[in-house]
């Protein structure tokens, strides 16, 4: 694989991910299956309609900023190693693919299941009056979004991000071997997991999701992170060598 082929490889891989993300954004705007809701189960969906404690914009910022900080830290600690930058590039490609796959899988499940959110009643009847759930008074987009409870996208995305980065740190540092300040590193990894758990749990505290939605989202995100990171954790020496020639043209 020469330099030109490697560059083409990167362009195709990037375009592939852009296409996947466009599909995710398109799916996110579609209306889900409209499930029938009996009057005797309305109590499950009559929780208050409040703003998200952790809005979507903060979620996306976290998905970008946390990996960026870790990658910069990796580069600062191992910048003398000639393979550090190719390893980071390879990991970024894995992480972005994990985001795309998670987004599509989560959206397809939301559309297929159509489970109402805990605050669905007040999306349907903003004034708090009404029992005919098939004839809502609320804004249409709010109603349809209120039928996308399962699984939690916040939980799946935040766990995709944090579990992927935890595995990345563990792979690059090889914590099974004796290492200086191992306790601090493990504590940092635990903090990432705790942060993901708090963000996911906040979706039940603001009545946007049921507990089962959050748990399912966390499992989906963790599984995708584990599978994709496992595929990208192995060293592709040929690809890394050609990446090195691209990022450091004077290498030869």
Catalytic residue list contains 141: no
Q: Which of 70-84, 203-217, 235-249 is least confident? A: 235-249
Per-residue pLDDT tens over the stretch 120-144: 988 888 887 877 777 788 888 888 9
Q: Tell which wins on pLDDT, 56 or 40.
A: 56
Q: Which of 90-99, 197-206, 211-220, 226-235 has the lowest mean pLDDT?
A: 226-235
Mean pLDDT of the chain: 87
Q: What is the pLDDT of residue 251?
A: 46
* Active-site entry in 74, 208, 209, 210: 209
- Among residues 74, 154, 208, 210, the one annotated as catalytic is 154
Q: pLDDT tens digits, residue range 76-90?
A: 888 778 778 888 888
Per-residue pLDDT at 137:
83
Q: How far apart are CA 243 and CA 79, in angstroms?
A: 15
| DSSP codes of every residue in the chain | --HHHHHHHHHHHHHHHHHHHHHHHHHHHS--------GGGGGGG-S-----SS-HHHHHHHHHHHHHHHHHHHHHHHTTSTTHHHHHHHHHHHHHHHHHHHHHHHHHHHHHH-PPPTTHHHHH-TTS----TTS--S-HHHHHHTT--SS-HHHHHHHHHHHHHHHHHHHHHTTTS--TTHHHHHHHHHHHHHHHHHHHHHHHHTTSS-HHHHHHHHHHHHHHHHHHHHHHHS--HHHHHHHHHHH-GGG-
Q: Is the pLDDT of residue 148 over 80?
A: yes
Residue 194 CB-half CA count within 13 A: 6
**pLDDT surpassing 60 at residue 249:** no
pTM: 0.88
- Confidence category of residue 184, pLDDT binned at 50, 70, 90: confident
């Amino acid at each position: 694989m020469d330099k030109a082929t490697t560059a083409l490889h990167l362009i195709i891989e990037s375009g592939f991910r852009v296409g996947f993300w466009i599909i995710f954004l398109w799916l996110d705007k579609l209306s889900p299956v409209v499930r029938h809701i009996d009057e005797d189960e309305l109590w499950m969906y009559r929780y208050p309609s409040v703003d998200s404690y952790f809005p979507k914009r903060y979620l996306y910022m976290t998905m970008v900023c946390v990996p960026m900080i870790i990658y910069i830290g990796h580069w600062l600690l191992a910048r003398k190693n000639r393979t550090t930058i190719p390893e980071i590039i390879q990991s970024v490609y894995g992480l972005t693919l994990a985001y795309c796959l998670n987004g599509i899988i989560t959206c397809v499940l939301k559309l297929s299941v159509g489970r109402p959110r805990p605050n669905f009643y007040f999306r349907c009847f903003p004034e708090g009056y009404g029992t005919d759930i098939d004839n809502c008074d609320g804004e249409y987009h709010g109603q349809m979004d209120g039928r996308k409870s399962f699984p939690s996208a916040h939980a799946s995305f935040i766990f995709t991000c944090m579990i992927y980065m935890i595995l990345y740190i563990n792979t690059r540092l090889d914590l099974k071997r004796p290492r200086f300040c191992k306790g601090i590193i493990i504590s940092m990894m635990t903090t990432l997991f705790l942060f993901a758990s708090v963000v996911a749990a906040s979706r039940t505290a603001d009545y946007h999701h049921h507990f089962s939605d959050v748990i399912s989202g966390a499992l989906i995100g963790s599984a995708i992170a584990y599978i994709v990171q496992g595929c990208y954790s192995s060293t592709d020496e040929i690809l890394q060598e050609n990446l090195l020639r691209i990022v450091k043209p004077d290498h030869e």
